[in-house]
Structure 1
Amino acid sequence: MRHVAKKITDLARKALSAEDKPITLMIIAAGVAIAIFEYWGFLENKRVEVAYKHVEQWESDQYQAAFSRVAADIRAFEQEAHDIIPDDLGEAALATARLNYTQNKIVENADGRLGQDLDLLIYFFDKLSVCVDRGLCDGPLLAQFFEGHLERLWIYSTGFVASRRGTIDGYGSLAQAYRDRLIQNNES
């Protein structure tokens, strides 16, 4: 960035010392345009860099282990639902009943490790939402990496989030807003 400022300063000095003022103004305008273009590129590169840092964080052992444990718990609860809920309900009702059972089991187990893992993951998506909203991260890049993970997590954790909101005002609201924007972007 300093080299860009130095280029502009040098250009301005040379242009101001020239005798023909219209040429001076054209050179200054060109220099400013180049500087703005380079600064915009610098900011875009920074957004991509910050986005990749979030991807690297997600791929760390801590987050992968938490997501794997949550997924394993969800599969176990789904199997319980499959074993307990009779198949004679009709396809839509059966799917809804099994989902509700799984969501309720997650809420029942919210005080243990499962709750801690979900807190960690939801907070991660809250941070992604802020990063994208403030233009600090490359939104489309993050959407490619995280949309599926967030959607799968959100389907099962809505009851958990609602129960946490009883004690923590606004819990998961940024992650929910981020998910809603991803869905809306896919529909348009």
Structure 2
Amino acid sequence: MTSLGPATAQQMSRRASQTEPDSDLENGDDNPFKSRDWRVWSYAWSGFAVRILIVVGGIFSVLQYLDTREENRVERTLQLIELWEKPEFQQAQQAISERLDALNVQFAELLDKDATAAERSVYFDRIGAAAMQADGGTMPVEAFRAHFDRMLYFLNRMAFCVDGNLCSKEVVDGYFGDFAASFWAYFGGYITEQRGGVAPNYGAPLEEYVASLKS
């Protein structure tokens, strides 16, 4: 057998020591948070702190964004309520209510107290159609239709605001929901009959909003 010289033996020993597993790694001493080197330790904790700050900052930004959006929705809803309370819309509401009340008295015998939902729907359509006629009330029909158009404009605007998530649906439903549903019950048939030509979506926003109240 060939004997190894001193130099060769030292080289073999050095290579063997390089291939042996690092006891520090096996024991998990590679964890920078447990390092005895204060520089490694400080880098590890400073990096961890930065990551925490980034996460907290991201959460804060999201919450701030959501809070701002909600504030904007409430503000637009209040603007809608202020618009509703203006004289022209209050007068329109009064004119519509008075005309419908008079027609309900006139045609009261047509609606049985035990009428089904379908029968009520037919009755409301008939009252709404009559309201749009010249003999539908004491107010001249041209003046009444001006009030009607003004009210439909407002309700469509309200529906757009809710559909675009620009207004608070909860507040709008509580403030305008019953009136919007009643308006559509009486005039929905008339409105859909007017669609076509230059106004294929006439009253569509209001129709979709009222449908959302039932879901």
- Quote the residue 2:115 is aligned against: 92
- Quote the residue 2:74 is aligned against: 48
Q: 1:49 to 1:169 in 2, by over 3 A?
A: same
Q: 1:183 to 1:90 in 2, by over 3 A?
A: closer
**Is the 2:73–2:167 Cα contact (8 Å) retained in structure 1?**
yes
Question: TM-score, normalised on structure 2?
Answer: 0.67
CA distance in 1, matches of 2:166, 2:125: 37
CA-CA distance at 1:86 after TM superposition: 6.8
Whether 1:170 aligns to 2:201 is yes
Question: Which of the pair has more CA radius of gyration?
Answer: 2
**Is the 2:110–2:123 Cα contact (8 Å) retained in structure 1?**
no
Greater shift, 73-82 or 56-65, is seen at 73-82
What are the superposed Cα offsets for residues 115-167 of structure 1, whole Å, 9 maximum, x if unpaired?
Answer: 22122112212112221121111111111101111112111112321332255
**Is the 1:78–1:98 Cα contact (8 Å) retained in structure 2?**
no
Greater shift, 170-179 or 104-113, is seen at 104-113
- Quote the residue 1:137 is aligned against: 167
Whether 1:33 aligns to 2:63 is no
Provide the aligned length of Structure 1 versus Structure 2: 164
**Is the 1:50–1:137 Cα contact (8 Å) retained in structure 2?**
yes
**Is the 2:177–2:213 Cα contact (8 Å) retained in structure 1?**
yes
- Quote the residue 1:108 is aligned against: 133
- Stretches of structure 2 lacking an aligned partner (at least 5 in a row): 1-41
**Is the 1:102–1:156 Cα contact (8 Å) retained in structure 2?**
yes
CA distance in 2, matches of 1:40, 1:96: 41
- The one of the two structures with greater contact order (alpha-carbon pairs below 8 A, sep at least 6) is 1
Q: 1:90 to 1:121 in 2, by over 3 A?
A: closer
**Is the 1:125–1:150 Cα contact (8 Å) retained in structure 2?**
yes
CA distance in 2, matches of 1:182, 1:96: 17
**Is the 1:99–1:156 Cα contact (8 Å) retained in structure 2?**
yes
Structure 2 counterpart of 1:182, which letter?
Answer: L
Residue 102 of structure 2 aligns to a residue in which SS?
Answer: helix
Structure 1 counterpart of 2:83, which letter?
Answer: Q
CA distance in 1, matches of 2:113, 2:49: 79
Greater shift, 174-183 or 159-168, is seen at 159-168
- Quote the residue 1:156 is aligned against: 186
- Quote the residue 2:105 is aligned against: 79
Runs of 4+ in 1 over 6 A off after TM superposition: none
**Is the 2:125–2:190 Cα contact (8 Å) retained in structure 1?**
no
CA distance in 1, matches of 2:95, 2:66: 41
Identity of aligned residues (%): 20
- Stretches of structure 1 lacking an aligned partner (at least 5 in a row): 1-17
Bigger helix share: 1
Q: 1:182 to 1:100 in 2, by over 3 A?
A: closer
